[in-house]
């Protein structure tokens, strides 16, 4: 299978995402006005609380076994490496570029959190369905294995995203509203004030000043869980070790209570216990209708998320408060540095015997390093009312670049493994 043939195979699922995204963008535009902001918000809630948990449970309960979990033990390690290295690179970028304080968590989230579930659920089965793929001639076996790997990736990615990334975005939201309510000017903002005084020309490419809400009471009503921070970075709250530990544990437990995380854990439990699995999985299972119903609801996850993605990306046309260099840095980290590190990590793990000989498994591990940012970041930005316009701009450019970058890296990965 030549390089160009591999490129065509890898490009098909990306084109599918873009085509459905274009439909979402049209529905959200003024020409149609069907997917309005409130409609996307409501659909997002349904996807988060119903469709995604149903898909994760149905996939994991059906495909995961104890033997698979033991043999796939390196996948959570691989995902942790993507978050660790991406977070470190994002932290370095923040210290070099000096964005406003309330954008730093946002930038680190975009650098570290990839779309580990939704895109893999599209890309891997689609690659298996193409003629001449390097993962075996039997499409059904390849597709079944690919769905299992993708489902596990989505479940593990959800655990990381709804703990680590959620914490970053929550802190950014608290800091944003504290700065807004107290008019605190963080050190990183001093340059933009000076630029604003020098005139519009010098301010053209700098961060926008901290926006002021037209309806602060409305924002507080929409986000009752938000509590303002007591400081920017200069002010420190002295709570004591045990109080801080208790707060951190309480926050961690709250983050684990997200519906996708709970459904993933239940799905794991059902898949790992044979007698529970026999109750709902299989033609003769007494509660097979439960699995079929969840699968039916789960099938709506990917089209709904892709339509919301297209609708949200239309907001990226507006001017944001981020420098162009910040967006370019995020793109370079996600689509240049991380994929190269991913190849090295997977090669090293395979060399020391940590990975099986299945090339599809190694392909999924490599692709996890080359994915665009997780769409759940946009959900969190909307939840905590921070950086929504900036999120849209970053999503716009990263997903446009992903159409070429992810296809190219996918082709390279298949070429390496074939």
- Per residue in 29-48, pLDDT (tens digit) is 878 888 888 888 888 888 87
What is the pLDDT, as a whole number, of residue 304? 86
CA–CA separation, 309 and 400 (whole Å): 12
What is the pLDDT, as a whole number, of residue 84? 94
Within a domain: 189: no
Within a domain: 301: yes
Domain total of the chain: 1
Q: Containing domain of residue 31, as a range?
A: 3-177+251-417
21 and 403 Cβ atoms separated by less than 8 Å: no
215 and 180 Cβ atoms separated by less than 8 Å: no
Within a domain: 188: no
CATH assignment at residue 276: 1.20.1530.20
Residue ranges in the chain whose pLDDT is less than 70: 1-3, 5-6, 9-10, 118, 182-241, 248, 251-252, 254-256, 315-321
28 and 311 Cβ atoms separated by less than 8 Å: yes
Within a domain: 165: yes
Within a domain: 287: yes
């Amino acid at each position: 299978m030549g390089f160009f043939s591999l490129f065509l195979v890898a490009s098909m699922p990306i084109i599918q995402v873009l085509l459905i995204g274009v439909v979402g963008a049209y529905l959200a535009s003024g020409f149609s006005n069907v997917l309005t902001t409130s409609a996307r918000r409501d659909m997002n809630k349904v996807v988060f609380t119903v469709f995604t948990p149903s898909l994760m449970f149905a996939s994991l309960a059906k495909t995961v076994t104890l033997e698979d979990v033991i043999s796939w033990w390196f996948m959570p390690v691989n995902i942790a490496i993507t978050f660790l290295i991406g977070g470190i690179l994002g932290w370095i970028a923040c210290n070099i570029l000096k964005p406003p304080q309330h954008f730093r968590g946002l930038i680190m989230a975009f650098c570290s959190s990839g779309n580990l579930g939704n895109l893999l659920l599209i890309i891997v089965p689609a690659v298996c369905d193409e003629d001449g793929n390097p993962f075996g001639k039997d499409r059904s076996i390849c597709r079944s294995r690919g769905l299992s790997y993708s489902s596990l990736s989505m479940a593990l990615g959800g655990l990381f995203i709804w703990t680590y990334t959620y914490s970053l975005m929550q802190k950014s939201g608290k800091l944003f509203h504290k700065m807004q309510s107290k008019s605190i000017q963080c050190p990183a903002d001093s340059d933009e004030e000076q630029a604003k005084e020098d005139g519009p020309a010098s301010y053209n490419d700098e961060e926008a000043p901290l926006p002021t809400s037209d309806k602060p009471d409305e924002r507080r009503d929409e986000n009752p869980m938000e509590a303002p921070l007591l400081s920017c970075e200069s002010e420190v709250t002295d709570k004591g070790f045990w109080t801080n530990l208790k707060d951190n544990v309480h926050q961690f437990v709250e983050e684990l209570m997200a519906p996708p995380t709970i459904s993933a854990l239940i799905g794991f439990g059902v898949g790992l216990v044979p007698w529970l699995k026999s109750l709902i999985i299989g033609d003769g299972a007494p509660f097979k209708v439960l699995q079929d119903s969840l699968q039916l609801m789960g099938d709506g996850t990917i089209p709904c998320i892709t339509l919301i993605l297209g609708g949200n990306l239309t907001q990226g046309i507006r001017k944001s408060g981020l420098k162009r260099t910040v967006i370019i840095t995020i793109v370079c980290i996600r689509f240049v540095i991380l994929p190269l590190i991913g190849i090295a990590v997977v090669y090293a793990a395979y060399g020391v015997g940590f990975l099986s000989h299945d090339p599809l498994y190694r392909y999924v591990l490599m692709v996890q390093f080359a994915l665009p940012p997780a769409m759940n970041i946009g959900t969190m930005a909307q939840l905590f009312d921070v950086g929504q316009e900036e999120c849209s701009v970053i999503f716009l450019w990263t997903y446009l670049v992903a159409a070429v970058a992810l296809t190219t890296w996918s082709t390279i990965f298949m070429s390496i493994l074939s």
